[in-house]
Structure formats: structure tokens, C-alpha cells
């Protein structure tokens, strides 16, 4: 990814433009028949950024990716506070939808990897109905296992045989990023893109927060109300931690610029 399209947020190299620019860039790489370099992309929100703050190995994983897109508004606000005025939210479900719509008339092959049993097949049907995209060349629902227990060569063989250009991975952070990284060592594709709960959103299994809550950076509250038992511990840690580190990151950046000037 171009250096001027990157800004560091809490130690993570993040994409600092908008969704259209990214999708057009990715499709250009595929249409120009550039080398299949198994470029890993993550739609990364506060959860992933804070986990990377605590876990050096995961931080190195994200920073080895071709690009980390700002999945939530808090990351965008920090980026803008550090001078990235063109930075906009690149929400995983929106990324998936836009990519599907823009590749309808192309021969870009999509492979869906993620969700509980049957979810990927439901999403394949939904892609045809919602986006008019029939070019889903394969699906795979990874069984629940530890990250070291998957047969990545077997999964990659199925993907490679399908002729896929893009592998969409919908599991959860941080597992999906680790999964993508390991899988990319065996695949022959252009992109492996992690999009979290996008699979469930697009088949109607999960409700999305109203747009006003998304724009206000309050989507976490909507999800917490919907799934309190599963998510309360996560957000009890993430929300105050990101608030603290995000403000600190912006202040430190501004101080360093004042000193230089």
C-alpha cells in the first residue's frame, strides 16, 4: 500500500482514505493481472487495535498486512486528529457490499470462508439476490478449533482449485486475522479480506446499528444491548482503553509536531 495512504494509530498502520478509493484500487490490481501476492486486508476496529496494543505478536501480524482498514469511527477520529483529513470509515459489511456490487460485471471470483455451518452458503445466495453477483466460486465454514489446529493446506487447496481472486473471511477478531495470515502462506489469490460479522449481517442473522449510532461511534452500545452476556466484558475493557490511548496518541502527535516546528 502507498505510504501516503497510511497513518499510524496506536502502533497500527491504518488506511487513511475512503472505501471507494480502496475498492477501486483492489479491483485495479486484479484487472491489471498483477501478481497473486496473497495480500491480507483487515477491517480493523477498536477491538483489534486494543488487542494489538497488549499483544506484540498480533500487532506484528496486523502490521504485516497489505492494509488495515478503519472499521469503526473511533479509529477514524484518531486518524483525523493526527492530520488524516481524508480518512473515512471502511466498515466491514459496507466493504463487502461495495466490492460485490462493483465486481458484478467482472470475472472476479469470490470465495466465502467463515460463519457457522451453512452461513457461507446462505451468503452465497444473498450475494445473488442483494448485489446481483453470481460469481461466488466456493464456500467453506471453518469448524470451531484453535488457530493451530486447522489444516490450512487443505483449505487452501480447495480455494486454489476454485480459481478465486478474493477470499472473504468472516470469523471474529483476533482469530480471523491470525487465520488469514496462516492461510495466505498456502493460497494463490490476490486478496484475503477479514470482515468480522459481515456474513451474519448480510444474511439477516444479526441486526446492524442505526446509521446515526454508527456515525456517532456508538455501534458498540447497540451490540452490547443485543448481546450483553457475550460482549459486556469486551466493551468494559475496550471502550475506556481506546478512549485513553486514542486521546494520548493524538496529543503526543500534536506535541511532537509543535516541537519540530
CB atoms within 10 A of CB 211: 9
Q: Into how many domains does the chain fold?
A: 1
pLDDT of residue 188: 97
- Determine the average pLDDT of the residues in 79-107: 95
pLDDT tens for each residue of 25-40: 999 999 988 889 999 9
In terms of pLDDT, which residue wins out, 116 or 244?
244
pLDDT tens for each residue of 118-151: 899 999 999 999 999 999 999 999 988 899 999 9
* Whether pLDDT at 73 is above 70: yes
In terms of pLDDT, which residue wins out, 167 or 228?
167
* Whether pLDDT at 261 is above 70: no
Range of the domain at 92: 36-248
pLDDT of residue 17: 96
pLDDT of residue 260: 66
- Percentage, residues of the chain above pLDDT 90: 73
Bridge partners of 111, per DSSP, are 138, 167
Q: How far is CA 41 from CA 11, 203, 235, in A?
A: 17, 22, 24
All cell numbers assigned to 170: 468472516
* Whether pLDDT at 178 is above 90: yes
Tell which residue, 64, 90, 99, has the closest CA to residue 182. 64
* Whether pLDDT at 226 is above 90: no
Is 217 within a domain? Answer: yes
Is 83 within a domain? Answer: yes
CA 73 from chain center: how many Å? 14
Bridge partners of 44, per DSSP, are 70
Is 260 within a domain? Answer: no
Is 258 within a domain? Answer: no
What are the b/e assignments for 30-39, b being 16+ CB within 10 Å? beeeeebebb
pLDDT band at residue 59, thresholds of 50, 70 and 90?
A: very high
- Helix, strand, coil proportions of the chain in percent (round to 5)? 55, 15, 35
* Whether pLDDT at 58 is above 90: yes
pLDDT band at residue 3, thresholds of 50, 70 and 90?
A: confident
* Whether pLDDT at 198 is above 80: yes
pLDDT of residue 213: 87
CA distance 255 to 35: 42
- Determine the average pLDDT of the residues in 73-93: 95
- Percentage, residues of the chain above pLDDT 70: 99
pLDDT band at residue 78, thresholds of 50, 70 and 90?
A: very high
Specify the range with the lowest mean pLDDT, choosing from 18-22, 89-93, 208-212.
Answer: 208-212
Is 253 within a domain? Answer: no
- φ and ψ at residue 116, rounded to 5 degrees: -70, 170
Is 8 within a domain? Answer: no
pLDDT of residue 24: 95
Residue 112's H or E segment, with its range, is strand 110-114
CA distance 140 to 119: 9
Is 27 within a domain? Answer: no
CB atoms within 10 A of CB 90: 28
Task: Scan for cell 494509530, then name that residue.
Answer: 9
- Enumerate residues 6+ apart whose C-beta is below 8 A from 5: 15, 16, 17, 67
In this prediction the pTM is 0.92
- Enumerate residues 6+ apart whose C-beta is below 8 A from 174: 48, 51, 52, 55, 58, 61
pLDDT of residue 116: 84
Average pLDDT score, the chain: 92
Amino acid at each position: 500500500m502507498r505510504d501516503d495512504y497510511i497513518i499510524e494509530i496506536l502502533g497500527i498502520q491504518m488506511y487513511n482514505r475512503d472505501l471507494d478509493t480502496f475498492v477501486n484500487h483492489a479491483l485495479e490490481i486484479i484487472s491489471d493481472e498483477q501478481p497473486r501476492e496473497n495480500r491480507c486486508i483487515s477491517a480493523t476496529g477498536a477491538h483489534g487495535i486494543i488487542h494489538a496494543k497488549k499483544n506484540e505478536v498480533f500487532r506484528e501480524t496486523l502490521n504485516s498486512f497489505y492494509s488495515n482498514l478503519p472499521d469503526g469511527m473511533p479509529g477514524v477520529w484518531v486518524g483525523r486528529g493526527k492530520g488524516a483529513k481524508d480518512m473515512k470509515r471502511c466498515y466491514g459489511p459496507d466493504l463487502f457490499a461495495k466490492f460485490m456490487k462493483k465486481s458484478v460485471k467482472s470475472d472476479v471470483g469470490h470465495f466465502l470462508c467463515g460463519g457457522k455451518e451453512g452461513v457461507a452458503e446462505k451468503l452465497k445466495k444473498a450475494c445473488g439476490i442483494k448485489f446481483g453477483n453470481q460469481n461466488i466460486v466456493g464456500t467453506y465454514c471453518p469448524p470451531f478449533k484453535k488457530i493451530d489446529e486447522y489444516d490450512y493446506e487443505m483449505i487452501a487447496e480447495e480455494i486454489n482449485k476454485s480459481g478465486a481472486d478474493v477470499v472473504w473471511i468472516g470469523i471474529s477478531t483476533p482469530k480471523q486475522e491470525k487465520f488469514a495470515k496462516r492461510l495466505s502462506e498456502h493460497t494463490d489469490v490476490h486478496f484475503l479480506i477479514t470482515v468480522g460479522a459481515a456474513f451474519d449481517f448480510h444474511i439477516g442473522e444479526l441486526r446492524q446499528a442505526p446509521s446515526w449510532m454508527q456515525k456517532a461511534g456508538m455501534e458498540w452500545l447497540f451490540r452490547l444491548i443485543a448481546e450483553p452476556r457475550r460482549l459486556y466484558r469486551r466493551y468494559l475493557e475496550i471502550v475506556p482503553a481506546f478512549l485513553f490511548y486514542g486521546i494520548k496518541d493524538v496529543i503526543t502527535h500534536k506535541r511532537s509536531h509543535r516541537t519540530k516546528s
